[in-house]
Amino acid sequence: MARVVIVGSGLMGTAMAWPLLDNGHSVAIVGTHLDDWIIDSLLANRYHPTLMRKVPPKATFHYIHELPSVIKDADIVVNGVSSFGIHWIADTLSVHLSKGQQVVSLTKGLLSDEQGRVVYFPDYIHDKLSPSVREGSAVVAVGGPCIAGELAARRETCVMFGSRDRAAAKRCAALFGTSYYHVFPTDDVMTLELGVALKNAYTVAVGIAYGMHTPDEAEMGMHNTAAALFAQGCHEMGYIIKKLGGDERQSSALPGAGDLFVTSAGGRTMTLGRLLGEGRSYVQAKEELEGVTLESVQIIHEMATVLEGTWIGEYSIDTGHLPLLRTLVDVIVHNKPVEFRYESFFTAH
Amino acid sequence: MARVVIVGSGLMGTAMAWPLLDNGHSVAIVGTHLDDWIIDSLLANRYHPTLMRKVPPKATFHYIHELPSVIKDADIVVNGVSSFGIHWIADTLSVHLSKGQQVVSLTKGLLSDEQGRVVYFPDYIHDKLSPSVREGSAVVAVGGPCIAGELAARRETCVMFGSRDRAAAKRCAALFGTSYYHVFPTDDVMTLELGVALKNAYTVAVGIAYGMHTPDEAEMGMHNTAAALFAQGCHEMGYIIKKLGGDERQSSALPGAGDLFVTSAGGRTMTLGRLLGEGRSYVQAKEELEGVTLESVQIIHEMATVLEGTWIGEYSIDTGHLPLLRTLVDVIVHNKPVEFRYESFFTAH
């Protein structure tokens, strides 16, 4: 039995409590500065207001000020913050973690450095840890098609745990995996991280397809267009993964097609896409979404930096193979109207 | 301008009239023996009863008995029958085709011979042509995510035209392609045919996921499970394509993930899957579907023959990499209950 502390009481962080508690581990959930209202509710009656259900018995709930004391005894610390909290969580873990504590990170996304080089979240977190903690440890990143609420409903779910230390990935897979939460360990962190980040970008394109719908006498939809953009998204993910040194075949598995499928099933990124497909500019769409910046938008910005950076030469990326990503950058970063160049899709690479 | 004769006035055959007419070709649609009622309606007012819209002006419509005379002047003959008509169309073309006429085949599916060797539809048709016609000609097969009604609504659509004669594929791509019907030519017929056939089989699995839904206090769906099965389907398509000598990377592009995405959007195969997921046996589900055999079912039967045939050794297929296909064979061919072995998914190959 492990002592697990989950930092971040949002949807995904909290949902991880289900498989962990089912496996008999002790679970302490610590809210961030933004989560006091969630912790209030959890302490009152275990009810999570956005998951819309009660966390199973035995989990404990804590406000952010309790973090230092709660984290001290943890065997495993789960990073459950969103990508906008990546700097905060890295700084926090760098202060509070001690040697031998294993980090499992749920945050999806990526960063770019000044040369336009991709920085993967697990590496970013790892590099900030204090030297004594960093040594001999590796962050385990979680990715794959998993809607938090469905995990909390114990729906059959398949995900990957990736770490540069394969043994750590396997150990955590064994601790977290249940009869409904199927964990596939890998040491190919790069491929996993690229897939689960990039799929957010390409989901915008699928959403745009549905937004482009016009009334039709036979009530026909937009699935052909959505499927073409879905496929081009997978195709481009494969190209980027290959060029950055990963396993492009994963673009048809959990981190690619699988994760893109689940994100395309609904949510705020699809809503953004629909608004763009209906003809709004990104600036207009953002206003309608009440100014909230989405993870997908952040990833498109990071990829714009990568595509425009000096490192692109080292990666030997030919942006001619990425017409869809270039359109997404034009739309989101440069506020241009949507214009897909279908004829330039599906290049052989 | 080409003279095009479409044989089969079902959804897909008729929908091809839109891009062809938009390109200024002459189009004659010939119904099969089953299509007289459709031809009646088309002759009356150009209205297609299942496409639920009028075919654009200038197309001509013909009953089956007119086939010999209509086909005589064709430059291109489009095979628009369903997979259940594959033997009939091959026999018909073998009788009526003359040298220089190009066959473009829309029929999706595959056959197996007695040794369990996969036989591709375009090859099957080609081999039946009379020697003088066969010589120097190659069938062009059409595949990729395309709902017929959406093509007829001129939705943006991306498909592949595949032929062992790449020049023929390119020629036809130029004749059929429009500003909304984007055609990508390839000489890799095998990969195209495997992808567009197998995706029908794996769509059953995606349907099963949604059928397994149980009521939930937070109204959670089944997207995690569907996405896992979707990804495993793509993964297995990649493996089969690789083992049969094709380009496995296409499993994440139009013939794989793209086509699986569009088929998973709805239709009778998804309905079959849902019924199975709700707990019915295949025999029970088939009764509810009024005894209609679906193309997906036929493909699972053919793949069962392949997996059980002597040729599997020549292909060096290890069925341990195909746990999902094996479950589908158990369910559809052997009438067993659904039992997914998630732990055996995503094997490295």
CB atoms within 10 A of CB A147: 24
Nearest alpha-carbon partner for A328 in A302, A349, A289, A291: A302
**Residue for token pair 């745990």:** A161
Q: Which residues of B touch A221 (CB under 8 A)?
A: 147, 150, 265
pLDDT at B293: 76
Rounded to a whole number of angstroms, the distance from the CA of A225 to the nearest CA of chain B is: 5
Work out how many domains chain B is built from and give that number: 2
Catalytic residue of the set B199, B242, B243, B336:
B199
pLDDT per position as a tens digit, B94-143: 999 999 999 999 999 999 998 999 999 999 999 999 998 998 789 999 99
pLDDT at A217: 93
The DSSP bridge partners found for residue A110 are A120
Contact A153 B220 (CB under 8 A): yes
Out of B166, B187, B208, a domain closes at B187
The helix (run of H) or strand (run of E) holding residue B111 is strand B110-112
DSSP states along B66-88: GHHHHHTT-SEEEE---GGGHHH
Q: In this structure, is residue A192 part of a structural domain?
A: no
According to DSSP, residue B144 is labeled S
Residue A292 — pLDDT band, cuts 50, 70, 90?
Answer: confident
CA distances from A338 to A95, A222, A292, B39, B171 (A): 45, 16, 21, 40, 30
Coil, helix or strand at residue A333: coil
Quote the domain boundaries for residue B11: 3-187
Among A180, A220, A250, A269, the residue to mutate for chain B (most B Cβ within 10 A):
A220
Q: How far apart are CA B74 and CA B2, in angstroms?
A: 8
Contact B223 A249 (CB under 8 A): no
Q: Which residues of B touch A346 (CB under 8 A)?
A: 158, 184, 253-254
Out of B187, B206, B232, a domain closes at B187
Q: To 5 degrees, how large is the angle CA B257–CA B260–CA B261?
A: 85
The DSSP bridge partners found for residue A140 are A104
Token couple for A71: 């984290």
Q: In this structure, is residue B277 part of a structural domain?
A: yes
Cβ-in-10-Å burial (0-12, 13-18, 19+) of A308 comes to middle
pLDDT per position as a tens digit, A265-277: 999 999 999 999 9
Specify whether B183 is located in the same domain as B213: no
Specify whether A175 is located in the same domain as A206: no
Residue type present at position A254: L
Specify whether A71 is located in the same domain as A135: yes
- Phi/psi at B139 (5° precision): -70, 140
Rounded to a whole number of angstroms, the distance from the CA of B3 to the nearest CA of chain A is: 26
Specify whether A302 is located in the same domain as A280: yes
Specify whether B139 is located in the same domain as B257: no
Q: Which residues of B touch A152 (CB under 8 A)?
A: 218, 220
Which ipTM was obtained for this model?
0.97
Rounded to a whole number of angstroms, the distance from the CA of A68 to the nearest CA of chain B is: 33
- Give the alpha-carbon dihedral of B309, B311, B315, B317, to 10 degrees: 20
pLDDT at B187: 97
**The domain spanning residue B160 has which CATH number?**
3.40.50.720
Specify whether B23 is located in the same domain as B85: yes
Query: Does the CA dihedral A267-A268-A272-A278 come out positive or negative?
Result: positive
Coil, helix or strand at residue B263: helix
Q: How far apart are CA A183 and CA A16, in angstroms?
A: 12
Res A135 pLDDT > 90: no
Contact B182 A345 (CB under 8 A): yes
Specify whether B130 is located in the same domain as B211: no
pLDDT (mean) for B227-231? 98
pLDDT per position as a tens digit, B77-102: 999 999 999 999 999 999 999 999 99
Specify whether A59 is located in the same domain as A152: yes
The helix (run of H) or strand (run of E) holding residue A203 is helix A189-211
Q: In this structure, is residue B308 part of a structural domain?
A: yes
Nearest to A222 among B155, B253, B258 (CB): B155
pLDDT (mean) for A63-75? 97
As a whole number, the mean pLDDT across chain B is 96
pLDDT (mean) for A103-115? 95
pLDDT (mean) for A294-309? 95
Contact B252 A262 (CB under 8 A): no
Q: In this structure, is residue A349 part of a structural domain?
A: no
Query: Does the CA dihedral A166-A167-A172-A174 come out positive or negative?
Result: positive
Q: In this structure, is residue B349 part of a structural domain?
A: no
Contact B158 A345 (CB under 8 A): yes
According to DSSP, residue B182 is labeled E
pLDDT (mean) for A318-331? 98
Specify whether A168 is located in the same domain as A26: yes
- Phi/psi at B179 (5° precision): -70, -15
Q: How far apart are CA A241 and CA A248, in angstroms?
A: 5
Q: How far apart are CA B342 and CA A183, in angstroms?
A: 10
**The domain spanning residue A259 has which CATH number?**
1.10.1040.10
Res A238 pLDDT > 90: yes
Out of B131, B164, B187, a domain closes at B187
Q: In this structure, is residue B151 part of a structural domain?
A: yes
Rounded to a whole number of angstroms, the distance from the CA of B229 to the nearest CA of chain A is: 8
Contact B228 A254 (CB under 8 A): yes
According to DSSP, residue B10 is labeled S
Q: How far apart are CA B283 and CA B291, in angstroms?
A: 9
Specify whether A93 is located in the same domain as A172: yes
E strand spans, chain B: 3-7, 26-30, 47-48, 53-54, 60-62, 76-79, 102-105, 110-112, 118-120, 140-143, 157-162, 181-186
pLDDT at A137: 84
Specify whether B146 is located in the same domain as B294: no
Q: Is B336 left (phi over 0), alpha (psi -120 to 50) or beta?
A: beta
The helix (run of H) or strand (run of E) holding residue B91 is helix B86-96
Nearest to B216 among A153, A261, A340 (CB): A153
Q: How many CB pairs under 8 A join A and B?
A: 212
Contact A218 B157 (CB under 8 A): no
Q: How far apart are CA B293 and CA B9, in angstroms?
A: 20
User: For helices B268-277 and B189-211, what crossing angle results, to 10°?
Assistant: 40
Specify whether A153 is located in the same domain as A10: yes
Q: Which residues of B touch A230 (CB under 8 A)?
A: 257-258, 261
The DSSP bridge partners found for residue B61 are B29
Is B286 catalytic? The answer is no
